[in-house]
Chains A and B, each alone.
Chain A
Amino acid sequence: MSSWLFLIPLLPLAAAVINFLFGRWFLQHASQWIATLAVAASFVLSIPVFLQIASDEQSISQHLYTWIPAGDFNIPVTLFVDQLTATMLLVVSGVGLLVHIYSIGYMHGDPGIYRFFSYLPLFVFSMLMLVLADNFLVLFVFWEAVGLCSFLLIGFWYRRRSAASAAKKAFIVNRVGDFGFGIGILLIFVTYGTIEYAGVFGQVGDATQTTITVIALLLFTGAIGKSAQLPLFVWLPDAMEGPTPVSALIHAATMVTAGIFVIARAYPIVSQSADAMLVIAIIGAATAFIAATIAVTQYDIKKVVAYSTVSQLGFMAFALGSGAWIAAIFHLVTHAFFKGLLFLGAGSVIHGMHEEQDMRKMGGLKKYMPLTYWTFLIGAAANAGIIPLAGFWSKDEIILGTWLGDQPIIMVVAFITAFFTSLYMFRAVFMTFHGEERFDAEQVHPHESPRVMTIPLVVLAFFAVTVGFIGFPPEDGWFHHFLDPVFPGMPHPDVAWSTIVLFAAISTVIALSGLYIQYMAYVKRSISPRGISELLGPLYKLAANRWYLDEIYDVLIVRPLVAFSMFLWRFVDAQVIDGTVNGVGSLVTYTSNQWRRAQTGLIANYVFAIALGAVIIIGAFMIFGSNLFE
């Protein structure tokens, strides 16, 4: 079967190219079907791959061609599938397919639809290649490629300054991460002489502990950028400028999890360095907490979901950091479904509200768009970790993992964050669908979205409910056994049922308390959110202003660099270097003007010059060159 493995990424690529070349003049709306079919095909093709991996636990690989034959730096392009990849294949192509279907409805009538449906499959292609790569450089290539697609799709409505800026910001911030990632690859090559997974992982131990730590951290810098960890997550909220399906696919379900995927992929290296894992855990926890606090204060429905994404990515990160590898991947999978669902739901709301995103102008939409409501509710509940939805199992397991990986502080942070999670999720639900209608009924006529959009919602909702059970019972589910080969030598502490139940109970209580508070606040109105925000004062302002990260970057990095560049250009280039060059020129001219004065025009002086010259020469020779005076 490995013979047609290459079709899985190729079909979306083909669709992308066709739509890009012919979309504008020939295909127009037809492009959407080409794209959707291609992605569907690659989804269908990935199923047997998954099944084969599941049945016989052999990894598959297919060599395509040699990319860079630069002496001993020889980079093949080889597709490689193991359990981790297989899982990602299904997630990517599956969610990708649903988003494609959804987009048919969402993007209907947009003049640039052919661009949309060439960028989107291009993204699917890149993401598939990213997970299929068998060496770090190819991984890096498509790491950048997904970044490009995200750039193109965020800037899809490029005539908006905000969209264009957001796209640029996303790409550049990601590049900051890639800077470290790239150096990591260089270091890997210099250390191990190869950058193919097999080769590297085979000889991890050969390097010194510091080297391993440095490599691990460098790889993680890449993840920080791509998976929107502190301090680089600033690009993700802005990325919401893109069409909502894009946010669902790229900025929730797949691309942003690439960082998590890479760390998991680099398990043999990362797991060797306790320091690196600690750093990862801390950064992850911090990210999860900060993002959650911000999410509570946002009014833009998409921004809420976006920050929740950042927060969830933080969960995955510190899961990895504290050794709960499988839990992280598990959460990655469940998160893909419920977060995708949440975004699509939000999109459906926005669609129904005529592109209105501010929750303060919504409310009581429940009766206008019931299907959207229920699906969104499921997603929110899953995200908040209400038993028995998917989010509950994975998140609960992560928190458990932190305890098992004895990181008590992280665990506490995790619980607090979980509380905030349910706060902002249900805040969004109640502000949007309950309470009185705050929109002006003359202009806005809320309506349910068309079938093509709601069906994906339902499918995703179904998974958001069920997918959690692949990880049941906790620590010992089918999913764990499936992924086990990917993380060889990972400790399997056998956990007492009591512990599991205890943790489950705690997180359920937390989740429900959040739900209760928000119900009181936005439905029963017995608590005034404004009152609380005034109570918190500066803390609230801090969160509401996204912890001032953008401003800090602007003042500390952007402006100084621009000033420095101006200095280099205006002073070093124009004054120093060119000044020297022109200085030589003017010096020669000046000398010329001085020397020409010797030419007085007076014969007397001319004769004198001749005589003087003769005398000097003769004199010089008489003194130095002869024995006249002896």
Chain B
Amino acid sequence: MPLELVHPEWGLIVPLLIMVGTIFALLVADLILPRDNQGAVAWVALAGLVASLASLLTIDWTAGESTFNGMFRADSFSLFINIVVLVAGILAVLISSSYVQSLQERGTMPMPEYLVLVMFSILGAMLVGAAGDLLIIFIGIEMGSLAVYVLTGFARRRMTSIEGALKYFLLGAFASAILVFGMAWIYGSTGTTSIPEISQQVGAIMAGEQLPEPALLLALLLLAVGLAFKIAAVPFHMWTPDAYQGAPTPVSAYMSVVPKVAGFAALARVLAEGLGPLSETWLLLIAILAIITMFYGNVVAISQRDVKRMLAYSSIGHTGYILVGLAAFSEDVPIEMSIGSVLFYLFAYTFMNIGAFAVVTWLQHRGQGVDLDSFNGLGVRSPLTALAMTVFMFSLMGVPPLIGFYAKYYVILAAIEAEMIWLAVAVVLASAVSAVFYLRVVVAMYFNDAEGEWRPQTTPMLGFGLMIMAVGTIALGFFSGPVLDLAMNWVDAFDV
């Protein structure tokens, strides 16, 4: 049949266009600026991100318009995802610029390329958030992942960095294959790749039947597996600790958030919106994955000495918590909290987790290692940094009144609204376990005496980023109302 070209509504994709523009600007800057002095490009990137963030205001998201034949959708869900990833991007740039320029890593790390890659992966994540079609999800995820593969191996003179990148890359490619195979089967069993149509088709198929036909089920499971890999759910998490540990610290910070956000966005789009009618089938799977994930992550984190690796496991644990929100989804009676809590958690997670990695970066700048001992006596050496780290740790632990607590609270609320009290109990038990290793960092900072040499250094941008994140972690909890409302709007986005 003939394809008639429609004139796309460029207005809706302004934020993405700005990102693309920024990328070009960065490439140009790379050409004109001399190799040894490229600090300015960080500002270019920041400007681009902020502009893109600001441009979100120009769009009426509640209308839920779409363009490119509904492939790209500007609805409240995509708005929230955009906000999260852009904020994450800003924070990532803030904490990484000085790290990338200074010689923390053997071998030089060209600033502009680094930023370009970051921008690309953000662009990918934004695409996933706005996806109205499996194709866009695939493209977005791949765009993000490919960029992050490179970033992981960005310290190319350090073997561990390469190793992390290699593992991440091979497993990632493998998982993408599974994912896209799942998409193929969806397409095969519904005849479309557009998510709303999929949900109609599936609804039609499921009408009357109790159990889905095998092809559809296979498709569903393949998709679930593929995306579970992206969000690092057990047992598809294996790459996470190695990649996080190997990657340059700011990259770990970044990759612990944005790809995860993209993954969850895809999960929500595909499972909740597209395969909503199948929810009875996949809810249990998600719930079980959630429990396994949160316990594995938190328990194994206890026996880690390397803080980056510990945070990697902790991020696996948090994946478990977030999955609980997804598991609270229900097709017939929309539980606002379910996807809402997922989104809010991602938002909260952005601040506290990037913050935690940022403190590690901050320490590396001052000649410290990344193991637990390098935190000894930080409370005396730099009370404010220690305070920030304390805030992040307790927030990750889920101690009120920090934002992490609110996030966890909403997840628990969602679980209980979905009458899954056992899931809520699991969450708090896992948090109790997690307290052990988060607390260990605080103990090291305040109760142990400082050791090792200390290279004072000024890192204004990093410090500024730390301050933003600490303040955000403290304040955004109290004023989580608006954010939560925004997150709750997913309901009108996925017309469930």
Contacts and interface: CB of A to CB of B under 8 A. Distances in A.
Check whether chain A touches chain B (CB < 8 angstroms): yes
Interface of A: 585, 588-589, 591-593, 595-596, 599, 601, 603, 605-607, 609-610, 612-614, 617-618, 621-622, 625-628
A141 to B, nearest CB: 46
B171 A592 contact: no
Given A592-B299, A607-B174, A613 B236 contact: yes
Interface stretch (B120-128, B211-219, B388-396, B480-488): B211-219
A588 B221 CA distance: 32
B38 interface: no
Contact of B217 (A592, A595, A626): A626
Contacts of A599: 238, 241-242, 300
Contact of A606 (B211, B238, B281, B304): B238
A626 B214 CA distance: 7
Nearest to B233: A613
B11 interface: no
A619 B447 CA distance: 50
Contacts of A627: 211, 213-214
Contacts of B405: none
Interface in B391-444: 433, 436
A614 B229 CA distance: 11
A621 B281 contact: yes
A589 B303 contact: yes
Nearest to A595: B300
Given A588-B302, A591-B299, A603-B171, A625 B281 contact: yes
A596 B301 CA distance: 9
A603 B170 contact: yes
A549 B304 CA distance: 64
Instruction: Sort A-B residue pairs by CB-CB distance and give the 5 closest, nearest first.
Output: A606-B238, A592-B303, A613-B235, A628-B214, A592-B302
A617 B300 CA distance: 23
A610 B225 contact: yes
A74 B167 CA distance: 79
B300 A596 contact: yes
30 contacts: A585-B436, A588-B436, A589-B302, A591-B299, A592-B301, A593-B303, A596-B300, A596-B303, A599-B241, A601-B242, A603-B171, A605-B238, A606-B167, A606-B171, A607-B170, A607-B171, A607-B174, A609-B235, A609-B238, A610-B175, A610-B178, A610-B238, A613-B225, A614-B225, A617-B221, A618-B218, A625-B217, A626-B213, A626-B214, A628-B217
A612 B299 contact: no
Given A610-B229, A626-B211, 20 more contacts: A588-B433, A588-B436, A592-B300, A593-B303, A599-B238, A599-B300, A603-B167, A606-B238, A606-B239, A607-B170, A609-B238, A610-B225, A613-B225, A614-B222, A614-B225, A618-B218, A621-B217, A621-B221, A626-B213, A627-B214
Contacts of A603: 166-167, 170-171
Contacts of A593: 303
Given A605-B238, A610-B236, A595 B212 contact: no
B321 interface: no
A59 B101 CA distance: 100
Nearest to B437: A592
A622 B238 contact: no
Contacts of B285: 617, 621
Contacts of A622: 214, 217
Contacts of B221: 614, 617-618, 621
Nearest to B174: A607
A613 B293 CA distance: 13
B224 interface: yes
B138 interface: no
A427 to B, nearest CB: 71
A417 B166 CA distance: 104
Contact of B225 (A588, A592, A617, A626): A617
A186 B213 CA distance: 76
Nearest to B284: A625
Contacts of B174: 607, 610
A609 B433 CA distance: 25
Contacts of B212: 626
Nearest to B280: A625
Given A591-B299, A599-B241, A621-B281, A612 B171 contact: no
A627 to B, nearest CB: 5
A585 B242 CA distance: 27
A617 B224 CA distance: 10
B296 interface: yes
Interface in B191-246: 211-214, 217-218, 221-222, 224-225, 229, 235-236, 238-239, 241-242
A588 B302 CA distance: 8
A278 to B, nearest CB: 63
A319 B310 CA distance: 83
Nearest to A629: B214
Contacts of A617: 221, 224-225, 285
B161 to A, nearest CB: 15
B178 A614 contact: yes
B362 to A, nearest CB: 27
A618 B281 CA distance: 12
Nearest to B209: A627
A610 B302 CA distance: 24
A605 B236 CA distance: 11
Interface string B274-294: 000000010001000000000
Contacts of B236: 609-610, 613
A595 B296 contact: yes
A625 B235 CA distance: 20
B281 A612 contact: no
Contacts of B241: 599
A307 to B, nearest CB: 62
Contacts of B167: 603, 606
Contacts of B303: 589, 592-593, 596
A5 to B, nearest CB: 60
A603 B243 CA distance: 12
Contacts of B171: 603, 606-607, 610
A603 B212 CA distance: 34
A627 B166 CA distance: 40
Nearest to A593: B303
Please indicate which of the listed interface residues B166, B211, B301 has the most CB atoms of chain A within 10 Å of its own CB: B211
A587 to B, nearest CB: 10
A625 B225 contact: no
Nearest to B241: A599
Contacts of B170: 603, 607
Contacts of A605: 238
B245 to A, nearest CB: 11
Given A621-B217, A626-B214, A610 B235 contact: yes
A353 B300 CA distance: 82
Contacts of B214: 622, 626-628
A263 to B, nearest CB: 60
Nearest to B221: A618
Contacts of B433: 588
A588 B430 CA distance: 11
A612 B217 contact: no
Contacts of A607: 170-171, 174
Contacts of B225: 610, 613-614, 617
A496 B218 CA distance: 117
B294 to A, nearest CB: 13
Nearest to A596: B300
B128 to A, nearest CB: 21
B244 to A, nearest CB: 12
A601 B285 CA distance: 27
Contacts of B239: 606
Nearest to B237: A609
A626 B299 CA distance: 34
A609 B240 CA distance: 13
A229 B171 CA distance: 89
B235 A612 contact: yes
A595 B234 CA distance: 12
A628 B217 CA distance: 10
